[in-house]
Amino acid sequence: MNPSPAKTYHLSCTVDPYRDGWLLARFLSERFRYHPPHLWDERLAAGVVRVNGTVAAGDTPVRKGDTVQYEIVHAEPEVDFRYDVLHEDADVLAVGKSGNLPVHAGGKFIENTLIARLRDDFGTTDLTLAHRLDRETSGVVLLARNRAAARGLQMQFEERGVEKQYVAVVRGILEDTVVDAPIARREPAAPPYFRVVDSDRGRASVTAFRHLAHGESRAPDSDDLPLSLVEARPESGRTNQIRVHAAHLGHPILGDKIYGIPEALAREFVDAGPTEAIDRAAGAPRHLLHCLRLRLIHPATGAPLEVSAPLPEDLRSAASWSPPLGDRFGPA
């Protein structure tokens, strides 16, 4: 895919505690690694970077809570804007998104997001995300259509009242198991902000995996790599939880370019994007994780609500599955 046409954006961010005291030039080049340092030097010299409203030089120290405002000319990467409406009423919207679509702005993505497209398609800014999926995770996304619904949905996610069912393709033969392993962000914090299992610093995290099928990879040059199709049910909702726990078991998700390939390649992917070597190491164009089903209580009516998104073709065709999948996960 080709990037979108370059546009001028006026953006801002807040200095986090980790970068308190950094010089502005270092803050910008480390915080926004998808823009090379020399571009930040040019922007600083042009006077288009401000700290708390005042034009600042690159050797200006920034402090926790400072607002850094900047102007950039940026071409966003292309995304797959496809989505299916799975449920719609006056309070709740549920869609099934593609496996290459950020749900909200972040990093290289500003406007090429699910929430921006839905607000445009539905002609309202009242839509708010009730939870998040990674850009490469396909499947069910819930949104609220008003403030009351947003509060109700948020409360259910925070109190673990939403039953979440994912399906993933992992390397090797993964049998039924439950992973109870705390997850933390690895320190020092730096892109790609790896999450790791850490019994000392981590927050409680539990994921139940259930073996659904097995087979051999259909990818070229895969050397008949054994694969498993598994159900994953996260009891908690930590960032990258399923991906981290699968990798912790020694069965990373196929296509995972952070937790499923050597660390040096993962850092290269974050800095420069996908390459032939990275794609070959990952084994698939995207990590093969899909949010199949969410069960919850409707925030307005109090009735049970179940929303499902059929298993996409890339998971279905990753291997010759045994037993065959048939229509177990929606229409093929």
Active site residues: 134
Report CA torsion sign: 181, 184, 188, 191. Answer: positive
- Number of Cβ within 10 Å of residue 304's Cβ equals 9
Nearest partner of 272 among 257, 286, 285, judged by Cα: 257
* Burial of residue 188 (number of CB atoms within 10 Å: 0-12, 13-18, 19+): exposed
Measured over all CA atoms, what is the biggest interatomic distance in the chain, rounded to whole angstroms? 64
Helix (H, G, I), strand (E, B) or coil at 279: helix
CB 318 within 8 A of CB 312: no
Nearest partner of 116 among 132, 107, 105, 106, judged by Cα: 105
Nearest partner of 133 among 228, 207, 274, 242, judged by Cα: 242
Pairing mode, strands 138-144 and 289-297: parallel
